[in-house]
Each structure stands twice: as C-alpha cells, then as structure tokens.
Amino acid sequence: MSSPSPHGHSSLRTVQVLGGGNAGSSAHVRSLAAGLVARGVRVAVCAPVEADHAYGFSGAGVEHVHVPRSSDPGSVAALRAACTGADLVHAHGLHASFRAVLALSGRATPLVVTWHNRAHAEGARAHLLRLLERRVARTAAVVLGTTSDLVDRARRTGARDARLAAVAMPALRRDEGDEDAERSAAKLRAELGAVGRPLLMAVGSLDRHRGYGLLLDAARAWRRLDCAPLVVIAGEGPQWAELQRRIEDEELPVRLLGRREDVSELLAAADLALLPGGGESRSVLAQEALRARVPLVAVLAGGVRELVGDAAELVPAGDADAFSAAVVRLLDDPGRCERLRDLGTRQTATWPTEDETVAQVLSVYDELTQPRPMI
C-alpha cells in the first residue's frame, strides 16, 4: 500500500495520456498535472515532445514521456512501458484514449478518459471513429465529458459510467499594465492593417468543421459597409489554400495569419471575437474572449450555449446571413457590446476553478483506486 504524502493523499502514481491535442485539452492537462503534483500525486505525462515544448509539462514537476501521436505498434509499446506500475491512467481525447486502451490490454489498471470535443470525420473515417468511440467508452472505468452532449454521447455509445467533467481554463497571465496593453494593441492593429476600422478575430485549425467557409460567406456582406471590418484568422490546416483562393477571388476583407504565438494579444486588440463553427465543445476562444471582455459572436452548436450562457451573440448554425447581421448589429451598438462584456464577466465566475477541477478528478481517482471494505 502506498505511503501517505505530505499533502494528505496517498502516493498515487498516475499517467496522463495526451495525443498532441488541441489548445483546450493541452492546457487542461498542464493545469491538472500541476494541481495533482501539488497534492502529492506522482504524475507522468505521455505526449509528443512538441506538446511538452508548447505547454511545459516538465515545468509542472511531472515526468514527461515522449510518445508520438500515432497508434503504430512502436508508439503503443512506448505507452505501455510508461504505464507500467501506474495506479491509474487518464487519457484525454478520443485518439489518446484509444491508444491507452491498446496499451493497457490485459492489465487491470483503471482507465479514466476525458472527451474534450467530439471527433469530426466524413465517409469511411466517420465509421472508424464511431468504432473507436464504442471501444473506448465500453473499456473505460469512467468517461468524463466536458459538455452534457458529450456525456450523453458516451452513454449512448456504451459507457458504464459517464459524468460531466469540471474543466477549468487556466487564467491568462499578462504582465503589462493598462497603458502598455493599449499601446501594444494599437501597434498590433497597425501591423495588421486595422487602423480606423473594426478588427474581428477567429482562431483555430483550418478544418472544414471550424466553419470558416461560413465566415467567408458572411464577410461578403461586410465589403459594402462604409467602414469594412478586417477579419483575421489565426491557425493552420488543410483548408488554407481553398480559403486563401476565395479571399483573393472574392476580394474579401479577411487575412489568414497562420500559426501565431500571440493569440492572447490578438484577442485583446480585437473589437469582436468570432466562432463560426462547432469544432470545440468548450471553445478556448470563447472562454478567453469572455475573460478578456471581448464581445463574442458564435454559432449555436456543440456546447457553446452551456459554456457562454447569455454572454454572447448566438446565431443558428449554418446561417451565414444571420452571422453577418449579428456582427453588423454589434458593431453599430456599443451599448450591447458593453452589456455582453458585463455578462461575460458574470459567466466566467460560474466556471469551475482549477482547484475544483483537480478535486473532482482526485475524487474519481480515489473511487477507482482505494480498497473497498469487505461486507
């Protein structure tokens, strides 16, 4: 039996499995790992080395184990070795969870999985994803879903125990004072070409389910405005060439910025944040926009209503005209923008804290690892 730690918890050893992940799941794992270590839990994070460089898992006092983002036998073997001796394995995201299922085959190690987003695919790949979901849901001891929709999906897929996860978004840390931040925002707007015109921002991988096609459809109407806003999209992905061709052919007021390391600064400089697709169940952009008091226009998809409540302008999914009109209304209504800022501040106060997130996860770990008394 493990000896007690100075923090009052048994010296539990957990392995957190991340497949590279998106910004939300990666930031969550970094926060969770740090919180677990602070409570005396020994933590190893299995993730590609690039993820460690980006999110600094090693700096949180955990052991980082490089495991490539693939399900080939070599990667599964590396993960299986890393999980040897673990009291519990916690995987984040569908693909990481499936690799954990393979790595733990034949072992009694409890597996917890967190579904941060719904996986998207088309055609034969969509069928494969459904099979992976079923295998993971039925194997895991507990499935934690970041939205009610994901919890319901896990139950329909065959999960023995599916629960709503408390997932905190680590607070943004800015060292600049108000005056310095204003100067930085003005400089950034000038560099982007948004002097004397509104700046609208979207961020995320350039994938079809992110809704950037709808955003470009909406941007056509903004060309006719006296002061046409500039839309900037931060991110890389397979749709880059297609989107860039449309921007040029239709002369749209949109710029693709590629990968950026200053997303928080871009957001602080923007007049509005835009979420045109349902790619994330707990959108990082939506969370950061509300925290930064930047009004948000979002399509009503996934868990966005559950996340933002009334603190955003929500429009039907797939309706470019409604999205375009909502943006124009906000640009013409400073009072409504201020109201959304205040609602956003209240909404963020209802979100789980990092401490609450760690406490929930630890309670699940205790359920699965503590010996039960004989009856």
Rounded Cα gap, residues 310 and 117, in angstroms = 22
70-84, 100-114, 166-180, 194-208: range with lowest mean pLDDT: 166-180
* Contact between residue 164 and residue 306 where contact means Cβ atoms under 8 Å apart: no
Instruction: Please write the tens of the pLDDT for every residue from 168-206.
Output: 876 655 555 566 778 888 999 999 999 999 999 999 889
Q: What is the pLDDT of residue 261?
A: 85
Rounded Cα gap, residues 31 and 286, in angstroms = 19
Hunting for tokens 């299995």 — which residue is that?
Answer: 46
* Contact between residue 113 and residue 101 where contact means Cβ atoms under 8 Å apart: no
Q: What is the pLDDT of residue 284?
A: 86
Rounded Cα gap, residues 16 and 89, in angstroms = 6
* Residue 90 CB contacts under 8 Å (≥ 6 apart), including other chains: 14, 15, 16, 17, 111, 112, 113, 114, 361, 365
Q: What is the pLDDT of residue 3?
A: 41
Which class for 111: exposed (0-12), middle (13-18), buried (19 or more C-beta within 10 A)? buried
The SS3 of residue 174 is: coil
Q: What is the pLDDT of residue 279?
A: 62
- pTM, two decimals, is 0.84
Q: What is the pLDDT of residue 54?
A: 82
Mean pLDDT to the nearest integer, 93-122:
90
Hunting for tokens 């045109």 — which residue is that?
Answer: 276
Rounded Cα gap, residues 103 and 242, in angstroms = 38
- Helical H segments across the chain, by residue range: 23-38, 49-55, 73-83, 94-103, 124-139, 148-157, 178-192, 212-222, 240-249, 263-269, 284-291, 304-308, 320-331, 334-348, 354-369
Mean pLDDT to the nearest integer, 247-263:
94
Whether the per-residue pLDDT at 22 is higher than 70: the answer is no
Q: What is the pLDDT of residue 20?
A: 60
Q: What is the pLDDT of residue 145?
A: 93
Whether the per-residue pLDDT at 301 is higher than 70: the answer is yes
Mean pLDDT to the nearest integer, 239-260:
96
pLDDT band (50, 70, 90) for residue 372:
low
Percent of the residues in the chain that have a pLDDT greater than 70, as a whole number: 91
Q: What is the mean pLDDT of the chain?
A: 89
> Going from the N-terminus, what domains does the chain have, and what CATH number goes with each?
13-168+352-369 (3.40.50.2000), 178-348 (3.40.50.2000)
Whether the per-residue pLDDT at 112 is higher than 50: the answer is yes
> When comparing pLDDT for 119 and 268, which is higher?
268
Q: What is the pLDDT of residue 170?
A: 67
Q: What is the pLDDT of residue 21?
A: 60
Q: What is the pLDDT of residue 370?
A: 85
pLDDT band (50, 70, 90) for residue 8:
very low
Mean pLDDT to the nearest integer, 343-355:
94
Rounded Cα gap, residues 14 and 103, in angstroms = 15
Whether the per-residue pLDDT at 4 is higher than 80: the answer is no
Tokens of 317: 């999914």
**Residue 4 β-bridge partners:** 10
3-state helix, strand, coil in the chain (%, to 5): 45, 15, 35
Q: What is the pLDDT of residue 7?
A: 41
Whether the per-residue pLDDT at 38 is higher than 70: the answer is yes
Of 152, 258, 130, the closest CA to residue 266 belongs to: 258
Q: What is the pLDDT of residue 6?
A: 40
Instruction: Please write the tens of the pLDDT for every residue from 147-170.
Output: 898 999 999 999 999 999 988 876
Q: What is the pLDDT of residue 226?
A: 84
Whether the per-residue pLDDT at 375 is higher than 60: the answer is no
The SS3 of residue 254 is: strand
